[in-house]
Amino acid sequence: MTRRPNLGISPVAVIGLLGVIILIIVLVLNSGVGPDGLTSHVSDYIAMLDNKSGGAPGAKAVGPAVVVDVEGKQIDDLHSRLPSALRAENHSQVATVILLVRSGTGIGAGTAMGMGVAMDQGGSYALSAFLYDKSGTAIGSHSVIKKTAMTGAGEEAQAKADADKEMLAWIESQF
């Protein structure tokens, strides 16, 4: 007698499928894109720039914090460089919001001299930080400006790296 194969779903397959679904849900919630993820709140953080009212004089930032790139509308690379005690992993942990604005004048900015324009063969890279508490009250701000020479992309990359390092040190000093 030939035995007909059972085409039903085995209990082991159901348990395995449920395990995969639970794993995916956990990964999404911890990846920053879930409802409590940092990424899903970036626009809320950036909206804090509209609040110009300052906090109490001498107010200090409290951790954990999130660092946001305003222009890129994303979590900034400096966020991952914060010490773990200061770095928020999800939105419900955020106590301080740090908004970064990056800008540069490029290289070869002109300077007017007499009848012509003389090239000063340089530019600059600026990095500004605006700190807010979780309610959106401004705590403070700081800017770092690094001059660049007209030596190519390496000079600009070095100015950015130096500005990032200096800004990270300032951010850490605010806690």
pLDDT in tens, 54-71: 666 667 889 899 999 999
CA 83 to CA 68: how far, in whole Å? 16
CA 40 to CA 91: how far, in whole Å? 9
Given this model, what pLDDT does residue 113 score? 41
Pairing mode, strands 96-104 and 110-113: unpaired
Given this model, what pLDDT does residue 131 score? 94
* pLDDT above 90 for 5: no
Segment 34-38 mean pLDDT: 69
Given this model, what pLDDT does residue 55 score? 61
Pairing mode, strands 122-133 and 96-104: antiparallel
Given this model, what pLDDT does residue 22 score? 72
Cβ 139 vs Cβ 51: under 8 Å: no
CA 21 to CA 25: how far, in whole Å? 6
pLDDT in tens, 6-26: 656 777 777 877 777 776 665
Given this model, what pLDDT does residue 9 score? 73
pLDDT in tens, 114-132: 444 444 556 788 999 999 9
pLDDT in tens, 81-99: 999 999 999 999 999 999 9
Bridge partners (DSSP) of residue 80 are none
Say which amino acid occupies 69: D
Given this model, what pLDDT does residue 54 score? 63
CA 43 to CA 69: how far, in whole Å? 11
Q: What percent of the chain has pLDDT over 90?
A: 42
Q: What is the DSSP letter of 2?
A: P
CA 164 to CA 40: how far, in whole Å? 24
* Structure tokens given for 3: 């035995």
Given this model, what pLDDT does residue 13 score? 73
pLDDT band at 165 (very low <50, low <70, confident <90, very high): very high
Q: How many CA atoms are closer than 13 Å to the CA of 139, on its beta-carbon side?
A: 21
* Domains of the chain (ranges, CATH numbers): 38-173 (3.30.160)
Given this model, what pLDDT does residue 78 score? 94
